[in-house]
Amino acid sequence: MNRVSSGAHVLHTDTTNFSLHGDYENSDPDPNTIEITYGHPKDNRWDLKRFVLSMVCNQQGIPLFVKTLSGNASDKKTLVQTVKKIQKSLKLSAKVYHIADSAIYSEDNITELGKRTLWITRVPATITEVKDLLGADIELEACTDSRYSYYEVKSSYGGIEQKWALIQSEEMKKRKEKTFDKNIEKNRKAAQKSLNKLKRMEYACYEDAKRAANTWLSKHQRYQLEKLSIEAKSRRMNSKIGRPKRGEELETHYSVKAEIVVDKQAIAREREKLGKFVLATNDPCLTADEILSYYKSQSTVERGFRFLKDKSFHVSEVYLKKESRIEALAMIMVLCLFIYSIAQWTLRQRLKETGKFVRNQVKKPVQNPTMRWVFFLFRGITEATIRLGGDSMRRLANMTEELWDILSLMGKECEKYYV
């Protein structure tokens, strides 16, 4: 898996945002710079203003395009704009597949991208066609990777002919089942609390009370209402207390009476959907295996964002107020990621070419170490000065054969700092 077919390029587009401390009151906004403002936080810091970074990486995680955006930039618009901009910047003769998350998938966006731009994305589960597909009783076929199975269908959503692949991930299903089972009792208590609130409500007529009960059922599809009834009660006008007088006009109100019962069939239908998702592409020649493989490599751009936000590298720390300087700093941040990604790709390629390995955190030999781990291995190296009489010598301490191998693989430009 995660291999790109010969003659094809896979570009991954995504966005992230960075929260900033400070007021950033822009009394004289510059139309040529970004705006530091409130947006949709991916770190759940709704109290902080932020800016957005839109980035495109290749399948090795090397950034090819970056643009800094205002803090309230919408992914649904940004992703399409980024894809169109990189198309103008890169002239590639081979096929290019643009991979993005489900925010890019809408009728307007896929129409704007057109038929010539090849894309692969996840289809939002809110679309009716997807809901029907996820709930359908169909037999899935095994993927090349035994952890996945699939079912292919055609779609013309948004007027664009597409291939949809319904994917079932066994690992994802197991993870979600654990969470699902834990939440059943929690959700039942919440539903009971909601029903108690409904039962305390008073309605002016029978129809209003009945409508409220149906609305509750539509919002709580895991449950049914047993012994459902609408009860009418009369009382004195204007909240007067005491026994009503003969012939006194009374007001009548209606309330819902019911008990909650778990709908086992609805629970089973929900459980059946766990671990399933729909991937779409406008290239009908791709197989389900290829669609899944290309989409899974979307994690390369996500790992790039994790590098930028990693506290150990101090890349994303912003101590600037002027928007134009923040934009410049963002470019330097991505330049750091560019160098880091090339170094990591180079080392992994050389390890495969030479058949050598690097031990990982659990002492297992691997050929795909992260540069972060390699940096950690080199942290223990110290330059020692040894004096014997009037002579002194400089030697490296804590160098191992493994570290010398890494240096030799990285090239003489790296070796010279240690030799």
pLDDT, residue 1, reads: 41
- List of long-range contacts for 263-270, beta carbons under 8 Å, 24+ apart: 263/221, 263/222, 263/223, 263/224, 266/221, 266/222, 266/223, 267/184, 267/222, 269/135, 270/180, 270/222
Among residues 77, 133, 113, which one has the least CA distance to residue 279? 133
Residues 226 and 258 sit within 8 Å (Cβ to Cβ) = yes
Tokens at residue 228, please?
């459902």
142 or 383: whose pLDDT is higher? Answer: 142
The average confidence (pLDDT) of the chain is 89
Quick check: 354 and 406 in contact, CB under 8 A? Answer: no
* Domains observed in the chain: 8-122+152-160+281-341 (3.30.420), 345-415 (no CATH)
Contact present, 271 and 177 (Cβ < 8 Å): yes
Question: What digits encode the pLDDT tens for the residues 12-66?
Answer: 999 999 999 888 876 556 778 899 999 999 888 899 999 999 999 998 999 999 9
Number of Cβ atoms within 10 Å of the Cβ of 66: 19
How confident is the model at residue 28, as a pLDDT? Answer: 59
Q: How far apart are CA 32 and CA 35, in angstroms?
A: 10
pLDDT at 181 over 50: yes
Q: For position 353, what pLDDT does the model report?
A: 95
pLDDT digits (tens, 9 = 90+) for 190-222: 999 999 999 999 998 999 999 999 999 999 988
Strand partners, 162: 155
Nearest to 61 by CA among 316, 312, 338: 338
Q: What's the pLDDT at 2?
A: 45
